[in-house]
Amino acid sequence: MGVSGAGHAGARRVLGGGTADRQTRGMTRKDWTHYRFRSLWSIAAPLDDVYEALADAEHYPEWWPQVREVTPIDERTGLLRIRSVLPYDLVLTARETRRDPAAGVLEIAMTGDVDGWARWTLTSDGPATRAMYDQEVRVTKPLLRRLAVPGRPAFRANHALMMRAGRRGLAGRLRRGPAREP
């Protein structure tokens, strides 16, 4: 009798009839509007120079082609307009949440067409700097939400192209020296 009872309970679990099964299904369902990105750059420049350039977001449009516009709102917040290969702009508000030169960390919270966070973590790598970029966002822009499933591979490729151009732009910017004030 104990074996038979265990068999029926197991059948309910397999068929998905129990409350725990519904909770598990809810936790594992894919949210196609959620993205995690990680990029790793090796920049042939000292850590302090790389940190300074990345901390100076107002000048990103000078060296990062896809960052079209940065408008400061206050000391820690700015409005960004970003556009890569695909024909849409992302507009977001970025608020600095961590600036720690000793740890080599820059972090922002983002709201707008995407909600989430992004973080640079810099470490020395001999004469070069290793810059790790982590980002976790949820797309809120209505068009991109509607295209979440079929567009996902293109969105990820678009991000990769943007990051590749950013690495090249930052390397060039550091070879030329600090940004000049007009």
Q: List, for residues 83-128, the tens digit of each pLDDT value.
A: 999 899 999 999 999 999 999 999 999 999 999 999 999 999 999 9
Residue ranges of domains in the chain: 1-30, 31-176
pLDDT band at 15 (very low <50, low <70, confident <90, very high): very low
Enter the pTM of the model: 0.80
Residue-wise pLDDT for 159-178, tens only, equals 999 999 999 999 999 998 76
Tell me the CATH number of domain 31-176, given options 3.30.1380.10, 3.20.20.60, 3.30.530.20, 3.40.50.2300: 3.30.530.20
**Euclidean distance between the first and the last CA atom of the chain, given in angstroms as a whole number:** 86
Q: Are 99 and 77 in contact (CB under 8 A)?
A: no
Q: Which helix (H) or strand (E) holds 68?
A: strand 67-72
- Report the alpha-carbon distance of residue 87 to residue 79 in Å, rounded: 20
- Please check the confidence at residue 53 and state whether its pLDDT lies above 80: yes
Q: Which of 10-14, 37-41, 97-101, 117-121 has the lowest mean pLDDT?
A: 10-14
Phi and psi at 53, nearest 5°, equal -65, -40
Nearest to 167 by CA among 129, 139, 117: 129
pLDDT, position 21: 38
